[in-house]
Amino acid sequence: MPKRGKKYTDAKTKINAEAKNDLAAAVKAAIDSSYAKFDETVDVAVRLGVDPRHADQMVRGTVVLPNGIGKDVKVLVFAKGEKEKEALEAGADFIGNDELVEKIRGGWLGFDKAIATPDMMGAVGKIGKLLGPRGLMPNAKTGTVTFDVARAVKELKAGKIEFRVEKAGIVHVPMGKVSFGTDKLVQNLSAFLDMIIRLKPSSSKGIYLKGLAVSTTMGPGIKIDVSSIKDLAK
């Protein structure tokens, strides 16, 4: 067990570990316990009653957070011809085709998200071993392999996030920055949890949402009372 610093320990003493917090109370507690000198990210961890080893219980999706994540997302688009112009007008940071593939093959990875038109996937597949492990490979299931380049770019710039349940049944994603304040973070959380609930596999039996917690980059986790989000489930 790693030794915690004094500031973390002090922050944790302010938390009631037994409290049943609703979304707003948990987010406020996380913000109040923030102590770093930088604008910390607020993350959420959700423990699901699924077994990701079974394909029919894999929970994976995307959601556009209404207030973004507080980060300037650098978007790269693999495209040709008119789609290059479309990507530029939509606000993409890097646009190209074969020359970009070669640049990445040479070690450059100066972007956060990648989009590709379907006709470029043959070339992009050649660098799949570089992009895949870093979560940068375009994927039709997450809307990043598409001819609707403008929409894809705008969504990523606006705060679209991807999520996927881990082996232990946990989904962990950022919800924004401490500076957002309680209201904006709750709006982001609500949008994310609504999507998680919509994606419940039909083969998942018993309790689906088993646990929820929010935390800042440096701060302790704050538990959320699962029953407090029952309205979303409806």
Clarify whether residues 38 and 143 are in a common domain. no
* Reported confidence tier of residue 234, pLDDT bands at 50, 70, 90: very low
Both 33 and 91 in a single domain? no
Please indicate, yes or no, whether residues 170 and 60 belong to a single structural domain of this protein. Answer: yes
Residue pLDDT, tens place only, 33-64: 888 899 999 999 999 999 999 999 999 999 99
164 lies in the same domain as 64 = yes
Question: Three-class SS of residue 185?
Answer: helix
Give per-residue pLDDT as tens, 123-157: 999 999 999 999 899 999 889 999 999 999 999 99
Q: Which residue has the higher pLDDT, 42 or 20?
A: 42
Residue 1 resides in a domain: no
Residue ending a domain, among 125, 157, 189, is 157
Strand locations in the chain (E): 41-48, 60-64, 75-78, 94-96, 113-116, 160-164, 170-177, 209-216, 222-224
HEC sequence for 32-68: HCCCCCCCCEEEEEEEECCCCCCHHHCCEEEEECCCC
Is 186 within the bounds of a domain? Answer: yes
pLDDT at 213 over 70: yes
| Contact between residue 176 and residue 42 where contact means Cβ atoms under 8 Å apart | yes
> Are 132 and 20 members of one domain?
no
Range of the domain at 208: 6-69+160-233
Start-to-end CA distance of the chain, whole Å, equals: 40
* Count of structural domains, the chain: 2
User: Alpha carbon of 94 to those of 112, 118, 166: distances in Å?
Assistant: 11, 17, 30
Residue range 1-12: mean pLDDT, rounded: 57
CATH classification at residue 105: 3.40.50.790
Q: Does 62 share its domain with 172?
A: yes
Matching residue, tokens 């989904």: 171
Q: In b/e form, how buried is each residue of 16-47, taking b as 16+ CB within 10 angstroms?
A: eeeeebebebbbbbbbbbbeeeeebbbbbbbb
What is the CATH classification number for the domain harbouring 55?
3.30.190.20
Contact indicator for 175, 16 with CB cutoff of 8 Å: no
Q: Is residue 228 part of a domain?
A: yes
80 shares its domain with 153: yes
Does the pLDDT of residue 17 top 60, yes or no?
A: no
Q: pLDDT-derived band of residue 5, with 50, 70 and 90 as boundaries?
A: low
Confidence of residue 1 (pLDDT cuts 50, 70, 90): very low
CA distance 57 to 60: 9
pTM: 0.82
Q: Which of 102, 135, 157 is the last residue of a domain?
A: 157
Place of tokens 């924004």: 176
Q: Where is pLDDT greater, at 102 or 20?
A: 102
Same domain, 21 and 61: yes
**Can you tell me the mean pLDDT for 19-35?**
89
Residue 204 banded pLDDT, cuts 50, 70, 90: confident
Residue 68: which pLDDT band, with cuts at 50, 70 and 90? very high
| pLDDT score of 35 | 85
Residue 185 CA to residue 214 CA, distance in Å, equals 11
